[in-house]
Amino acid sequence: MHEFPDFRIPIGDAVEKFIDFLAVNLEAFFDFIFVISSSLIKGLEGGLLAIPWWLFIILIFLLGWYFTNLYGGLLFSAFMFLIGSFDLWSETMTTISIVLISVLLSLAIGIPLGVWMAFSKTMSVTMRPLLDAMQTMPSFVYLIPVIFFFPLGNVPAVIATIVYALPPVMRLTELGIRNVEKEVIESAQSFGSSQGQMLLKVQLPQALPTIMAGVNQTMMMALAMAVVGSMVGAKGLGERVLYAINRIDISLGFEAGISIVFLAIIMDRLTGGIANRLQKHRRGAA
């Protein structure tokens, strides 16, 4: 049996030194991010918890009815009522806050970068291997560097979630814009549209279904990080699942787990319904 030569390339050591360098030299920057992120999460969580449970369920019913159908509204409200009956209401509001903040920040970063990738071949070629690494890297690995930059809690979970959930919306934004028909672009150019006008009034509306698919995938991936984020102190349903695992509490584990599934179904169907509404509105305007 031939053994591999006894030497190693210390890439991991180099990464560790780079992380230490960032933690020391950009401490003020990371403190700023922590304060902003923590304030956003606490503000949204406080706002959701201030809404009476029955009013929140009614709002979920109305959103489901408007963006899907009557059956969807009834189903979503029933899901939220079940979550409340499990005594997991406050944990659910915390999870919703973390997921929404993570998704909004992911979209704020990912969609502009996806547009840039669509217009720049150099940017696209540069980002693709990075996106491949971000999507295939085990999600637990993202928790290691963030705990060097931020105290344990919801903020490192949000940062790790953003990194994990960015690739789908970036890839699908690029794909949607690149797949806009050339005839449509040439027609807009013939009317004297500038590059900015073409992007805002032609390419982005045409690419909207693909971009919304990316938004949906980003939201699902953010929700999937709920349990992983609990390992760095994130609160919410993920923390209850982790607690149940440690205590081998089947009842709590199932109730917290099925609550995450309920949230995933609600968010998936609502984003799909929003995408359909936007598409119908665009066709009507056309």
Beta-carbon contacts of 231 under 8 Å, excluding residues fewer than 6 positions away, are 140, 143, 242
Q: Is the pLDDT of residue 1 over 60?
A: no
Across residues 241-253, what is the average pLDDT? 89
**Tell me: the pLDDT tens digits for 149-161?**
888 888 888 888 8
Is the sign of the CA dihedral 142, 148, 151, 155 positive or negative? negative
Residue 46 resides in a domain = no
Is 260 a member of any domain?
yes
Confirm whether 221 is domain-assigned: yes
Query: Please, what's the largest Cα pairwise distance for the chain?
Result: 71
Phi-psi region of 87 (alpha: psi -120 to 50; beta: other; left: phi over 0): left
pLDDT at 76 over 90: yes
**Amino acid letter at 243?**
Y
Between CA 151 and CA 157 the distance in angstroms is 10
Q: How confident is the model at residue 81 (pLDDT cuts 50, 70, 90)?
A: very high
Q: How many CB atoms lie within 10 A of CB 152?
A: 13
Mean pLDDT to the nearest integer, 194-203: 76
> Residue 3 pLDDT > 90, yes or no?
no
pLDDT band at 255 (very low <50, low <70, confident <90, very high): very high
> What CATH number is given to the structural domain containing 200?
1.10.3720.10
Position 4 in a domain: no
Name every residue whose Cβ is closer than 8 Å to that of residue 117 and which is 6 or more positions away in sequence: 123, 124, 127, 170, 173, 174
Q: Is residue 26 part of a domain?
A: no
Residue 97 lies in a domain: yes
What confidence score (pLDDT) does residue 43 get?
A: 92
Expressed as residue numbers, the domain containing 213 is: 89-285
* Residue at 205 is within a domain: yes
Backbone angles phi, psi at 23, to 5 degrees: -60, -35
In a domain, 231, yes or no: yes
The answer to whether 263 and 103 have CB atoms below 8 angstroms apart is no
> Mean pLDDT highest for which of 21-35, 95-109, 148-162, 230-244?
95-109
Model confidence band, residue 286 (pLDDT cutoffs 50, 70, 90): low
Q: Please, are residues 216 and 229 in contact by the beta-carbon 8 Å criterion? A: no
Domain count, the chain: 1
Q: Is the pLDDT of residue 282 over 70?
A: no
